[in-house]
Amino acid sequence: PRLLSQFFFADERVTRVVAEINGLDAELDPQQYLVLLNQLHLSQAHLLAVLERIMEECIPTQRHSRDYLVKFPEELLVDNLGNHMLFAAECLLAGTFLEVEESDGAELRPRARNLLCSLELVRTVLREQSLSQPNSYPEPVRAVLIQFDRLFAEFELSYVSSLVAVKSPDEIYRQQEIIVLFCETVERALHLGYLTQEMIDGYEPLLMFTIPRLAIISGLLIYPEGPLSLERSPEEMSRVFSPFYNLLKKIRDLLRVLSAEELCLLERSLCTAE
């Protein structure tokens, strides 16, 4: 159950697979090479997972901030992101630029080198600690973990920033505005009886269509200063809505001519139509 013991065996696994890969002629046995490469990715992912748990146990209040993750596209926020970053660093150090431009790769190489050197130091220190005192984390161990955590975060942010367009603070704020709009829309729909708490608690599938439809009406009529404000230019709106700027104007103009009874009827129909 001791994390340092788990780390020792996970590290042994990585070392063994690397040794097998180094002793294999990939051209003579490409199939076995691919098998070993997959084993390496899996064993590295396990090693990083154990290391993450060790850092949470050893330096929980000294972890480098990961607030930058909110800037990343959602499709990148997967469980194996850390392992992907490690693989990217290894490729960069080997002079292979799989996903980034060569100029960006050249700038990232020093960070990749520092990260991989720090990881090797962490592996060495934790192996020694696991064999001597597997129940404690003395200051030298804590120091190398803090350094590795910082270098990993810095490389992750730099690499992803060169790979995709990360969200700006303005875009993040606009997304938060949309979240608020949806929350207020749900509260209003509950108050008016369009929705029930049982539907929400039961994750009624129809809500996936109903809430966005009601939110558009709320954003255009009820909360006109919010994220759907058409007083802004399309460039100032969230990228979720900016492509539909002209369509939203037409919808707003149509909604404005409805009476209160007609608007209520429209909203109720949006809660049932598929």
Q: Average pLDDT of 43-60?
A: 94
How many domains does the chain divide into? 2
From 163, 198, 228, the end of a domain falls on 163
Same domain, 26 and 144: yes
Percent of the chain with pLDDT over 90: 53
- Domain extent for 72: 3-163
Q: What is the pLDDT of residue 70?
A: 79
Distance CA 226, CA 248 (A): 14
SS3 state of residue 209: helix
Backbone angles phi, psi at 133, to 5 degrees: -135, 80
> Do both 132 and 181 map to the same domain?
no
Orientation angle between helical segments 102-132 and 81-93, nearest 10 degrees = 110
Residue 108 has pLDDT above 80, yes or no: yes
C-alpha distance across the termini of the chain, in Å: 51
Compute the C-alpha angle 243/244/250, nearest 5°. Answer: 155
Question: Residues 206, 260: one domain?
Answer: yes
Q: Is the pTM of this model over 0.85?
A: no
In whole angstroms, what is the distance from residue 225 CA to residue 181 CA?
11
Average pLDDT, the chain: 89
Q: Are residues 155 and 205 in the same domain?
A: no
Domain boundary among 128, 163, 198: 163
Examine the domain organization and report whether 101 and 212 are in the same domain. no
Shared domain for 148 and 175, answered yes or no, is: no
Residue 173 to residue 176: CA distance in whole angstroms: 5
Name the percent of the chain lying above pLDDT 70. 97
Does 129 share its domain with 43?
yes
Q: Rounded distance, CA 190 to CA 204, Å?
A: 14
154 and 184 part of one domain: no
pLDDT digits (tens, 9 = 90+) for 142-151: 999 999 999 9
Q: Give the pLDDT of residue 272.
A: 79
pLDDT tens digits, one per residue of 6-48:
999 999 999 999 999 999 888 888 899 899 989 999 999 999 9
- pLDDT value of position 232: 84
Examine the domain organization and report whether 109 and 216 are in the same domain. Answer: no
Q: Does residue 80 have a pLDDT over 80?
A: no
Asked whether the beta carbons of 192 and 239 are under 8 A apart, the reply is no
Residues 60 and 193 in one domain: no
Q: Who contacts 179 (Cβ-Cβ below 8 Å, separation ≥6)?
A: none
CB-count exposure of residue 81 (10 Å: 0-12, 13-18, 19+): middle
On whether both 156 and 21 belong to a single domain, the answer is yes
Cα–Cα distance between 218 and 270 in angstroms, integer? 13
Q: 159 with 173, same domain? A: no
> Among 115, 136, 163, which residue terminates a domain?
163
Most confident of 20-24, 114-118, 264-268: 114-118
Q: Phi/psi zone of residue 190: left (φ > 0), alpha (ψ -120 to 50 degrees), beta? A: alpha
142 in Cβ contact with 58 (< 8 Å): yes
Average pLDDT over residues 193-211: 90
Is 51 in contact with 7 (CB distance < 8 Å)? yes
If you compute the radius of gyration of the chain from its CA atoms, what whole number of angstroms results? 26
Instruction: Report the pLDDT value the prediction gives residue 273, as an integer from 0 to 100.
Output: 64
